[in-house]
Structure formats: structure tokens, C-alpha cells
Structure 1
């Protein structure tokens, strides 16, 4: 089992308590050492014992309490950050966090030309209003969760997915060429078609339309979204449940 040495993990608390207690004992012994030559042997042993054990008795509990509180604060901060950046329904990134991460990746790609290709997908649920009308809004929420989870399952570690609209999702595929991006987009589309919806009956086939923009270098989020959204519109107007890609011209 991999130990968690981050600010939210217990190993950091344990290490902090041990290191802090040893430091306090060392300081106490250092201060007492200036009087060692004036002590009898019995007094010397007593001083060593007191200056070793007393910090352990006093410092260890205080350090444990302090570091435990710091760990709790770190966990609370992480949860607040997660809530602030996550869509509450689908648990993928919200629009703001998605755009921020994609912008960061694009800036990093500009500094590393060998790894600056990639693709941007806009995925939209087909006939979503009819799903709400036929099955109700609660089942509509279930459909969005299924779509979001299917998208996540089809991606690699390092790919980014976010909910950027009501029934619209954005996907960023760094370091992915056009052909590979097409494969990913088609896999997402087909797996959503095969999803069991509603989960208890499987009587309806979910589908999505996908618009994609492949890029080479010096890409901008707004340009990628504009091209991918234009391709999405073409996919919608061409019958839905299909993938249309376009390469972004630098």
C-alpha cells in the first residue's frame, strides 16, 4: 500500500511528531550540557533522563494535536477546492476549472514544441429535452451522469474532461494526433450508445454528437472551442449521433 505523505496523510503527522519530539529533546539536552561538568554521575544520569523524557511527555502530545489540526485543515482546503472546481452532478470539472486547466496545458505546450499537438472535443447529448420530457428530470440527471462516466472511462490519465454546458461536455486530449483523437471520439460515441438507460429497463438508446478540433501548435482555447463547436453544429444538423472533426489552422 502506497503511503500518503501529503499534507492530508497520517504519515506526515507521525513523522512530524517524531522529528519534532527529537528536536525538542536535542535542544533540552544541549542547554543542559553546559552544566554537565558540574554534576555528579547520579545527577548527570538524572539530567539526561529528564531532558530526554520530559520533551517526549510534553512535546509529543502537543505536536500530535497541532499536526492533526493542520491535517484536518488541509483536508478541508482540498474538499473546498474540489467543490469549487467540480460539477456537483457529474463530478467532472466545471466550466471554469476545465478552461483554466486547458489554458495551462496549451501554455505549457507552447514552451515544448515537440509535444504541442492535441485535440479538443465538444460532446453534446442528442435530444436531451425529449429525455427529460419522457422520463423526467431525475432520469435526465442520470443520463448526464452516465454520459460523463462513459467519457471518463474512455480517456487516458492526463486527459481533461469538464461539463461546459447543460448537456455539453468538453474533452482535451493533449499530445493526441487527429487519427487517434477520432478513435477516442468514436469510442465515446459508441459506448454511450451501448449504455443501459434507464438503468432499470434499458429501453432508451442514448446518443451524443461530437465536434472536434485537432491542433498543431500555438492553439488558443477560444479558437479550439469555436472550431469544435462549429463541427458539433454540423454533426447535429447532419443527423446527430456522429463525429465531425476539423484541423485548426495556425
Structure 2
């Protein structure tokens, strides 16, 4: 479950106090300079009471206003920051949503490494889970699967929900042999989930298809190849991994 945090972090408060003191200091300097010029021009000269007033007034009047304005500005900035972050997440699982996942993978695919493996994971017979236990329990199963994926993939791997019961994992700068080992770890991790809706044991399993690249490639093309192998894994009986053969 994701949502906006209402409390500002410590770093934000430090920024607020720093900005407030800076603005108050600047206000005091301008006030003192203006007072000195005014008193030297239109009165007998600079005196201590005048200087004290020029220092105290900006602090007493401007300080609270500047502080309030700084809090409002920082709250807005922090909220926008959170909204931008939440826009990249899947609301149910907390993983990257499809658009954010595809964008992140695309950056790797055209970046300096330009080598990696994309795994497309689909929960087997998932419709039967929804039909037997309801969509609430189906959502719980998806959250369990997402959690298992997050714990299983090695960093700096990426994981996202592509839609429905389909997930994606991208393993940057990884060869096929290692990727196959990771895919099998993922498959076993899902099989080990103790999913018991309404106290009834309901084993979960996934089929996994993969594609690799060693040169720049668009996410769409890489996904299409991985999805074809996912279909092959489904045809082979599910609960298995289908990857291209290592050279």
C-alpha cells in the first residue's frame, strides 16, 4: 500500500531553518543599511535605538512570515516529489509499474553496459485463484509473489509488475548461465510461498520466459522475445523456465 507521507523528513526541516535564517539575515542587513542611510541623510546621524529597531523589526515581523512561507514551499516540493515517485509504482504491489519498469530497462539497454537479461514471469492458473477465493485473496497472492521477487533478485536487478499476474525482472550486465540460475531461484521462491486463503492450502507457481541482449535494443523488442519464450514455458507444462541457449 502506498500513499503520501504528511510529515516532512529531517533534511527538509534543516533546509527550512537554513532558508529562514538566511532570509532573516538578509532582511536585517538591508534594514540596517536603509536605516543608516536614512538617519544620516534626514536626521542628526546614526543612533543606537534606531539601529536596534532596524535589527529587531525584521526579525519579529519577517521571521514568522518567512518561516511559514518556507514550510509551505517545502511541503509542496516534498509532496510533488512523492507524487512523482508514486507515479512510478504499482499501487497493489509497490513494485515499478509497467511504464516505469520499461523506461528503466530501456536506459540500461542503451547505456554503457548494453548487456543483460529480461525475465517475464507469469503466475500459473491464476484465474482459478480468483475464481475459488475471490479477488481480494488473488491480490494477496500477487503481493506475496511481488515480495518473493524483490527478495530473490540480486542487485542492481529491477523488478516490476507488467500487468495482471505478469511481472518482469531485468538483470543488467549478466550472462545467460547466471540468469538461468536466478530464474530458477525465483521459480522455487514462488513455489515455497505458503499461501493459505481461508485456511486452504493453495500452491503457487510461475512460468518464466527470458531474452538476452549484448548490444543496444529497444525494450519492446526484448520483451517480445521474452514473451515468446514465456509462451513456450506455458506450453511445456508451466512451473518452468525457458531461456535462449547460452553461446
Shift of 1:188: 1.6
Specify which of 7, 10, 19 is matched with residue 13 of structure 2: 10
**CA spacing shift, 1:30–1:180, aligned 2, 3 Å:** farther
Shift of 1:233: 1.1
Match of 1:164, SS? Answer: strand
1:61-89 CA-partner distances (Å, limit 9, x unpaired): 11111111112212332343244332221
Specify the alignment match of 1:88 in structure 2. 91
Task: Work out the CA distance in 2 between the residues paired with 1:63 and 1:196.
Answer: 55
**Structure 1 segment 48-127 matched on structure 2, within 5 A:** 48-107=51-110, 109=111, 112=112, 115-127=113-125
Specify the alignment match of 2:22 in structure 1. 19
Task: Work out the CA distance in 1 between the residues paired with 2:124 and 2:188.
Answer: 13
1:97-133 CA-partner distances (Å, limit 9, x unpaired): 22222223323x1xx2xx2211111010011012122
Task: Work out the CA distance in 1 between the residues paired with 2:198 and 2:118.
Answer: 33
Which segment is superposed worse, 178-187 or 58-67? 178-187
Specify which of 146, 151, 167 is matched with residue 148 of structure 1: 146
Check if 1:208 corresponds to 2:177: no
1:3-39 CA-partner distances (Å, limit 9, x unpaired): 754xxx2221111111111111122223234357678
Match of 1:14, SS? Answer: helix
**CA spacing shift, 1:70–1:156, aligned 2, 3 Å:** farther
Q: 1:192, 1:206 within 8 Å by CA — same for their partners in 2?
A: yes
Specify the alignment match of 2:5 in structure 1. none
Q: 2:36, 2:51 within 8 Å by CA — same for their partners in 1?
A: no
Q: 1:215, 1:248 within 8 Å by CA — same for their partners in 2?
A: no
Specify the alignment match of 1:30 in structure 2. 33
Instruction: For structure 1, list consecutive stretches of 5 or more residues without a partner in the other structure.
Output: none
Specify the alignment match of 2:6 in structure 1. none
- How many residues are treated as equivalent by the alignment? 238
CA RMSD after TM alignment? 2.5
Match of 1:196, SS? Answer: coil
Match of 1:241, SS? Answer: coil
Instruction: For structure 2, list consecutive stretches of 5 or more residues without a partner in the other structure.
Output: 1-8
- Normalization by structure 2: what TM-score? 0.85
Specify which of 241, 244, 250 is matched with residue 242 of structure 2: 244
Q: 2:196, 2:202 within 8 Å by CA — same for their partners in 1?
A: yes
**CA spacing shift, 1:25–1:135, aligned 2, 3 Å:** same
Specify the alignment match of 2:231 in structure 1. 233
Match of 2:243, SS? Answer: strand
Specify the alignment match of 1:189 in structure 2. 187
1:166-188 CA-partner distances (Å, limit 9, x unpaired): 10011222222223322322222
**CA spacing shift, 1:173–1:36, aligned 2, 3 Å:** farther
**CA spacing shift, 1:141–1:33, aligned 2, 3 Å:** same
